[in-house]
Amino acid sequence: MLEYVLVNIYKYLLIHYTRKARVVYMSVLVTGGTGYIGSHTCVELLKKGYDIVIADNLSNSEIDVVDKIEKITGKRPAFYEVDILDRDGIERIFSAHKIDAVIHFAGKKAVGESVEKPLMYYHNNITGTIYVLEAMLKFGCKRIVFSSSATVYGVPKTVPIKEDSPLSAVNPYGATKLYIEGMLKDLYVANKDLSITLLRYFNPIGAHESGLIGDNPNGIPNNLMPYITRVAKGALPQLGVYGNDYPTHDGTGVRDYIHVIDLAVGHIKALEHMDRPGINAYNLGTGKGYSVLEIVNAFEKINNIKIPYIITERRPGDVAECYSDPSKAKDELGWVAEYSLEEMCASSWNFQRQAN
Q: Which of 60, 114, 195, 286 binds ligand NAD (CB under 6 A)?
A: 60
What is the number of residues in the chain? 356
Q: Considering CB distances under 5 to 8 angstroms, the limit depending on partner class, which of ligand UD1, ligand NAD, none binds residue 210?
A: none
Provide the minimum distance between the beta carbon of 250 and ligand NAD in the complex, in angstroms, as a whole number.
23
Instruction: Give 11 or 33: the residue with its C-beta nearer to ligand NAD.
Output: 33
- The region, left, alpha or beta by phi > 0 then psi within -120 to 50, assigned to residue 345 is alpha
Which one of 173, 227, 246, 339 is the catalytic residue? 173
- What is the rounded CA–CA span in Å between residue 133 and residue 131? 5
Q: Residue 44, interface with ligand NAD (CB under 6 A)?
A: no
Give the footprint of ligand UD1 on this chain (CB under 6 A): 111, 149-151, 173, 201-203, 222-224, 227, 239-242, 253, 255, 292, 315, 318, 322
Q: Considering CB distances under 5 to 8 angstroms, the limit depending on partner class, which of ligand NAD, ligand UD1, none binds residue 326?
A: none
Question: What sign results for the dihedral spanned by CA atoms 177, 178, 181, 186?
Answer: negative
Instruction: Name the segment binding ligand NAD (CB under 6 A); options: 14-22, 33-41, 44-52, 294-302.
Output: 33-41
Instruction: Give 25 or 94: the residue with its C-beta nearer to ligand NAD.
Output: 94
- What is the rounded CA–CA span in Å between residue 183 and residue 125? 12
The reply to whether 246 belongs to the active site is: no
Q: Are strands 195-201 and 278-284 parallel, antiparallel or unpaired?
A: parallel
Q: In what order do the strands lie in the sheet with 321-322?
A: 290-291, 254-255, 321-322
Q: Residue 345, interface with ligand NAD (CB under 6 A)?
A: no
Peptide bond into 326 cis (omega under 30): no
Instruction: Give 25 or 105: the residue with its C-beta nearer to ligand NAD.
Output: 105
**Contact letters for ligand NAD, residues 70-99 (x by CB under 6 A):** -------------xxx--------------
- What is the rounded CA–CA span in Å between residue 273 and residue 267? 10
Instruction: Name the segment binding ligand NAD (CB under 6 A); options: 68-76, 106-114, 272-280, 342-350.
Output: 106-114
- What is the rounded CA–CA span in Å between residue 75 and residue 52? 10
Instruction: Give 42 or 199: the residue with its C-beta nearer to ligand UD1.
Output: 199
- What is the rounded CA–CA span in Å between residue 70 and residue 9? 24
Q: Provide the annotated active-site residues.
A: 173
